Amino acid sequence: MQGKHLRPLAQLPKAAAQCAQAGAAYGKCIGARYQDVDKGMCAAEFQAFKQCVTQAMKRPARS
């Protein structure tokens, strides 16, 4: 249990992989407007991706 708390970044790639659909939606939104960047653009897509990753990080790691 202690190792889990010492290496939270080790869980990040797995958590992000579980959120591929939300990550792709965010990437598509950014890619569509990358030359016209504006604060808050794609905020809904980012929040959905962030929430997904946060939830995935809370789940117990599966071996």
Q: Which pLDDT score, from 0 to 100, does residue 34 have?
A: 86
pLDDT at 1: 47
Q: What is the pLDDT of residue 11?
A: 85
The residues near 22 (Cβ < 8 Å, ≥ 6 apart) are 45, 48, 49, 52
- pTM of the complete model: 0.76
Position with higher pLDDT, 8 vs 41 = 41
Residue 35 confidence (pLDDT) above 60 = yes
Mean pLDDT of the chain: 86
For position 12, what pLDDT does the model report?
Answer: 87
